[in-house]
Amino acid sequence: MVLESLYNIKDVRKHPSEIFILGVIGTILAIIISFFLNQGGLFLVFLITLAVLPLTIKQLKYEERRHEYDHFWNYLYSLGFFSRHKDLIIAYFYLILGITLSISVSYLILPTKISSSIFSDQILIISSITGNATASGIFSKILFNNIGVMVICFAFSLFYSSGAIFLISWNASVLGVVVGQGAKNLMGLPSIPLVLLSYLPHGIFEFSGYILAGIAGGILSIALARHKESRKHFLFVLQDSLLLLAMGIVFIFIGAIIEVMFI
């Protein structure tokens, strides 16, 4: 794949901001293909996932090769919890930002008929959420919906290694359309950063929950595949995975509280 060949995995580990460019390029290509094939919604997200998945798999394989050496485990044990996972968390956030901004801009500059077709599923889900915004029990609905997405992210990463990328890309695409719609009602393109910032208070917690769940499932998947090699290493990774998952639940809870406050 051409996009995959443009990136050296070691460079990406040192400069995770390069993932932002991958997210932008992958999203733009997905939008172009969706337009010519007259498809949109989930198909668009599938194409975005297809673009970023090879690099994600390379990252996981890179980690697996590093885990083969005892000196790496000794180094890993010496690091703090956040030091062990910060690079991957930052990379996910760059990916989300790249997808969100690309879709926001595309939603604004494309003719309404085309954007409505390409982002059809995203617009539909936004309409359903907006329609229920004043319904009773909105907090519990938001909370359980987001926890459900988080659990699926964990399960997808556990059983399909990097399957959480699809769900994270889907949520980033929905956020992108929401930001695009908000900016359209204001000053257009110049107001995208302002609208994005308005969703930051709860959005950063929600996406943190999804990302942490995805990482938790991914590292546990590797640990389960290699558990016979060392019980000590397995328990170490299991502990990290459960802690990441617990943190994800806390972040989702905080995000739901903040979102209800802004409705």
Looking at residue 8, its pLDDT comes to 56
CA dist., res. 258 & res. 56, Å (int): 31
pLDDT digits (tens, 9 = 90+) for 67-93: 555 544 554 566 666 667 777 788 888
At 29, the pLDDT band (50, 70, 90 cuts) reads very high
Task: Tell me the pTM.
Answer: 0.81
For the chain, count helices (H), then strands (E).
12, 0
Task: Report the 10 Å Cβ neighbour count for 110.
Answer: 17
Spatial separation of the C-alpha atoms in residues 72 and 123, rounded to whole Å = 46
| pLDDT at 151 exceeding the cut of 60 | yes
* DSSP notation for 160-176: HSSTHHHHHHHHHHHHH
Instruction: Report the distance separating Cα 65 and Cα 208, nearest Å.
Output: 27
Tell me what the pLDDT averaged over the chain comes to: 79
Between 16 and 197, name the one with better pLDDT. 197
For range 155-159, the mean pLDDT: 83
What six digits make up the tokens of 219?
């590292």
Query: What does the alpha-carbon distance between residue 194 and residue 208 come to, in Å, rounded to a whole number?
Result: 21
Domain spans, the chain: 2-262
Q: 184-201 pLDDT, tens per residue?
A: 888 888 889 898 888 888
User: Model confidence at 109, in pLDDT bands (50, 70, 90)?
Assistant: very high
Report the chain's terminal Cα–Cα distance, integer Å: 43
CA distance 31 to 142: 29
The residue with greater pLDDT, 24 or 51, is 24
pLDDT at 63 over 60: no
pLDDT at res. 76: 56
Does residue 250 surpass a pLDDT of 90?
A: yes
pLDDT at res. 13: 60
Q: Does residue 66 contact residue 87 with C-beta atoms inside 8 Å?
A: no
Dump pLDDT digits (tens) for 49-58. Answer: 888 777 666 6
